[in-house]
């Protein structure tokens, strides 16, 4: 049985006492919604503007997979559970408590009574039941998060406060169902989930800390505080995600005070910003991996293949040679300038229990001489011009999909051209504003890939299962890279039903080992979260984890929900504060020093491929 306690429990009081014992002085930054509103009436409104470079794929929680989109859904809708900003353990969300039957096939969730949709209606268990039931019965509603409900046998709301989920077999993710719960009375009117993007009628009804009020494609998403949010309303009067195609333009806007926060900085940008007044640079271990992906032969679940991937990449020896010619240490040193860790497994080292390293003799360290030997032995000889050709006479000339907005892709692409060129392999770097269309069509040879990993890695593992492939070539699936490996699938099925933490972690590591050996994915680095914000606009804000974490792309809504305008923070304690810790059991915010909050320490629901 797994149970989480409601607010004001002994566990909550112990947690709050432990914070105070640590010598942190409680402040009054968490103003009540009424007090905040009164303050706003006295002066002008405050706006927190976040610069983003990634386009919104959809504002429908049933379709969205990119990091920007799913981050916005974290703000607009409650999930059954959330992750504590301190250490990412599971805490209440829309559900205040949950229990499992002895056989772990029936889970009962207690839905809170104080969650209200932004149109005034109460959020109930019926909303959650409808959300899950729709995903179970309509494949188009399962595009983004279908892996979470594939094992559900039945979902019912026995009363407004009780949600019951019956499983076909045990499922280890029942306290980490990263699915936005939507209001039934709004969404039951949708007739086609494959085309409805939820971007026409505003404000969009939700029950999270913010309400989406406006959206313009590749321009902005605007949100207002949800004044009835059960944890308390956010302190900023407006939150804007503003699109910048060019990273330098976003940095310039930060310097001018036109935006409050910029994520995904290059090392050069971060170094320049550190010397600027009123700007704080946060450099923390990230939750994302940066990888090189190969097209394994795009196919659908019905067996039909499609796309135009180079057939030589179906040969594991070719993939092995390519990866032996990638110098991860140089990429970390020269491209990321030390603000990253060399890549190995699929899960970043930030998630210690699931982090995997190749065994001695298994690792594919940089060795161009061995790479040449592998190609020679596999029959890919050089012609008179020094080009590698296959037995069919087709030269090894590859294309790689590159994100035009990501300077790392372009820089790494130049290194790959140099390294692979010495092997006799050609590489064309195709940088596009959006790689989604050619990727979905299988029209690529290789691609720069990357996902943000959640505390529970189930989702990013599921996108490499055979079941994530599109049903037919005309459909869209949840797959990242068309990988379908039966051994990987078998391990995924085992970890999904394993409740013993140590045994499940071992299975997850074995999955990463298998993915590594197949050579379809080469994880090159785990980049730091390199980001900056204006201290004259943001007086305090929560990182995750609190000891040394990131602000952008958190597993939760803590950063933007907790952010306090600089002027208001100064009015609270006489000077702008530099960090906050959020009390989870009750709406409590405690001021802490910046050294504690933003010290150094490294996805998706889902990426988020771009």
pLDDT single digits (tens) 492-518:
999 999 999 999 999 999 999 999 999
- In the chain, the N- to C-terminal Cα span, in Å, equals 39
Name which of 28-42, 280-294, 348-362 the model is least confident about: 28-42
Fold category of 56-187 in CATH = Dipeptide-binding Protein; domain 1 (3.90.76)
Instruction: State the average pLDDT for the chain.
Output: 88
DSSP-derived secondary structure letter, 463: T
pLDDT band at 572 (very low <50, low <70, confident <90, very high): low
Q: What is the pLDDT of residue 44?
A: 64
Instruction: Give the start-to-end residue ranges of the domains of the chain.
Output: 56-187, 288-527
For 389, the 3-state DSSP assignment is: strand
**Mean pLDDT, residues 161-170:** 97
CATH superfamily of 288-527: Dipeptide-binding Protein; Domain 3 (3.10.105.10)
**Mean pLDDT, residues 176-199:** 97
Is residue 3 pLDDT above 60, yes or no?
no
pLDDT in tens, 528-558: 999 999 999 999 999 999 988 999 999 999 9
Is residue 31 pLDDT above 60, yes or no?
no
Is residue 257 pLDDT above 90, yes or no?
yes
Name which of 24-33, 140-149, 282-291 the model is least confident about: 24-33
Name which of 241-250, 319-328, 336-345, 577-586 the model is least confident about: 577-586
Q: What is the pLDDT of residue 582?
A: 36
Is residue 423 pLDDT above 70, yes or no?
yes
Q: What is the pLDDT of residue 583?
A: 36
CA distance 72 to 74: 5
CA distance 180 to 162: 17
Q: Do 56-187 and 288-527 show the same overall fold?
A: no
CA distance 59 to 55: 11
Portion of the chain with pLDDT greater than 70, in percent: 86
- Single pTM value for the model: 0.81
In DSSP notation, 318-335 reads HHHHHHHT--HHHIIIII
Q: Which helix (H) or strand (E) holds 400?
A: strand 397-403
Residues 272, 407 contacting (CB under 8 angstroms): no
For 526, the 3-state DSSP assignment is: strand
Is residue 210 pLDDT above 70, yes or no?
yes
Q: What beta strand segments (E) does 171-219 contain? A: 210-216
């Amino acid at each position: 049985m797994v149970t989480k306690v409601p607010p004001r429990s002994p566990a909550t009081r112990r947690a709050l006492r432990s914070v105070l014992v640590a010598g942190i002085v409680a402040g009054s930054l968490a103003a009540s919604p009424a007090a905040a509103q009164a303050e706003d009436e006295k002066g002008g409104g405050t706006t927190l503007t976040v610069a983003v470079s990634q386009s919104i794929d959809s504002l429908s929680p049933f379709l969205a997979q990119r990091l920007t989109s799913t981050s916005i859904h974290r703000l607009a809708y409650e999930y059954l559970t959330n992750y504590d900003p301190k250490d990412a353990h599971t805490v209440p969300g829309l559900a205040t408590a949950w229990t499992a039957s002895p056989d772990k096939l029936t889970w009962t969730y207690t839905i809170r009574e104080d969650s209200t949709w932004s149109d005034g209606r109460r959020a109930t268990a019926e909303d959650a039941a409808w959300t899950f039931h729709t995903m179970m019965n309509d494949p188009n509603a399962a595009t983004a998060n279908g892996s979470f409900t594939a094992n559900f046998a039945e979902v019912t709301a026995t009363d407004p406060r009780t949600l019951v989920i019956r499983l076909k077999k045990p499922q280890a993710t029942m306290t980490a169902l990263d699915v936005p719960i939507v209001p039934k009375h709004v969404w039951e009117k949708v007739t086609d989930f494959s085309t409805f993007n939820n971007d026409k009628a505003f404000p969009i009804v939700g029950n999270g800390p913010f309400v989406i009020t406006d959206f313009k494609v590749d321009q902005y998403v605007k949100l207002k505080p949800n004044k009835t949010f059960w944890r308390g309303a956010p302190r900023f009067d407006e939150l804007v995600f503003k699109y910048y195609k060019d990273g330098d333009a976003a940095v310039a806007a930060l310097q001018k005070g036109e935006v409050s926060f910029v994520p995904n900085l290059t090392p050069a940008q971060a170094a320049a910003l550190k010397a600027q007044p009123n700007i704080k640079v946060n450099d923390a271990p990230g939750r994302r991996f940066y990888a090189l992906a190969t097209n394994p032969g795009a196919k659908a679940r019905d067996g039909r293949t499609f796309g135009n991937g180079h057939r030589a990449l179906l040969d594991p020896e070719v993939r092995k040679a390519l990866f032996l010619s990638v110098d991860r240490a140089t990429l970390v040193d020269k491209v990321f300038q030390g603000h990253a860790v060399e890549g190995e497994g699929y899960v970043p080292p930030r998630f210690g229990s699931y982090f995997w390293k190749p065994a001695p003799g298994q690792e594919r360290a940089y060795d161009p001489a061995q790479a040449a030997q592998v190609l020679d032995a596999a029959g890919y000889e050089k012609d008179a011009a020094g080009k590698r050709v296959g037995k069919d006479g087709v030269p090894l000339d590859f294309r790689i999909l590159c994100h035009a907005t990501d300077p790392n892709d372009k820089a790494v692409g130049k290194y790959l051209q140099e390294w692979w060129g010495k092997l006799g392999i050609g590489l064309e770097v195709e940088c596009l504003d959006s790689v989604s269309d050619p990727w979905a069509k299988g029209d690529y040879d290789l691609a720069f890939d990357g996902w943000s990993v959640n505390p529970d890695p189930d989702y990013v593992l599921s996108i490499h299962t055979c079941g994530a492939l599109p049903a037919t070539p005309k459909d869209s699936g949840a797959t990242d890279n068309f990988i379908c490996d039966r051994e990987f699938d078998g391990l995924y099925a085992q970890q999904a039903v394993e409740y013993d933490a140590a045994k499940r972690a071992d299975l997850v590591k074995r999955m990463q080992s298998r993915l590594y050996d197949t050579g379809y994915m080469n994880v090159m680095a785990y980049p730091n979260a390199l980001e900056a914000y204006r201290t004259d606009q943001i007086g305090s804000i929560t990182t995750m984890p609190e000891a040394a974490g990131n602000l952008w792309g958190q597993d939760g809504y803590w950063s933007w929900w907790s952010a306090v305008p600089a002027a208001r923070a100064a009015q609270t304690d006489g000077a702008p504060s530099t960090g906050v810790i959020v009390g989870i059991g009750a709406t409590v915010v405690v001021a802490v020093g910046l050294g504690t909050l933003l010290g150094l320490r490294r996805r998706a629901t889902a990426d988020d491929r771009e």
